[in-house]
A = this chain, B = another copy of it.
Amino acid sequence: MKSPLEKARKNPESMKARILAVARRIFGEYGFHGTTTRMIAKEVGIDISTLHYHWGDKNDLYEAVVMDVNNDLGKELFKVEKIVHGSSLEERLNVSIDRMMDYLFDHPEISNLVLLRYFSKTRNEVDVDFKVPEFSGDIARAMGLAKDAKNPSPRAMMKVMSIMNGMHNFVSGENFFRPMLNLDRKNYIRAVKETLKFILIPAFVSREGKTKKDAAPGLSVPKKKRSARPTQTAGTAE
């Protein structure tokens, strides 16, 4: 009833959904220009014309993939926010990192696509955008870095983006980093979580007493002062 993307997500067995799933993975691995429609079609086991029949041209398919990824990421962020809501900042970060990393390592295309979008241009512009601003604003609000999720300060946004980028980096870079470190997957994931906690937690926790000039404003809001309904983390989460 809604968008074609919604329909595809309904039934994961449908051809449309199968194409989308493969496209997600391959676009994530090779980027927009590095991916050919033939690669996707071959992986699904169909002809390219079938792909075009379902999804239009390459740009349309890519846009659908981006929206799909946005959707999933938003939902997961919303779930995590519900879990950690009310905890202390340290606990928030600990749990969020554990959960988000498990999730992202299960869906590495998400990190791949998000990072590729940040760092690489596309010759023919694709107009669909990631919802990073909304997500980041909501997280900033939830972390007590901003009063209003719609108007976070640039500094607050950048702190949030540092967190998200740090996560995405190790997921998306696994193929490069893991052989370099000579770790198996399980140990790599564990090491990533520990490293992220090592880096991130001291920045946001135990800022008391130091009062550095660039300390997070309005940061020490560990408990109370929360509204009735849970903080909206993802704008489109159902």
A80 within 8 A of B: no
Shortest CB–CB separation between residue A200 and chain B, in angstroms? 7
- A44 at interface, CB cutoff 8 A: no
User: B214 touching A197 by the CB < 8 A rule?
Assistant: yes
A199 within 8 A of B: yes
State the CA gap A177–B202 with chains docked (Å).
24
Chain B residues with CB under 8 Å of A34's CB are: 31-34, 120-123
* Count of identical protomers in the assembly: 2
Give CA–CA (A178, B157) in the complex, Å: 11
Chain A interface residue bracket vs B? 35 or more
Give Cα A216–Cα B194 distance, bound, in whole angstroms.
Answer: 11
Q: Check A154 against B121 for contact (C-beta < 8 Å).
A: no
Contacts of A154 in B (CB 8 A): 181-183, 187, 191
Q: Chain A 190-219 against B: per-residue CB contact (8 Å), 1 yes, 0 no?
A: 011011111110110011001000111000
CA distance A196 to B199 in the complex (A): 11
User: A120 touching B118 by the CB < 8 A rule?
Assistant: no
Q: Tell me the bound Cα distance from A198 to B202 in angstroms.
A: 10
Question: Distance (Å) between the CB of A122 and the closest chain B CB?
Answer: 7
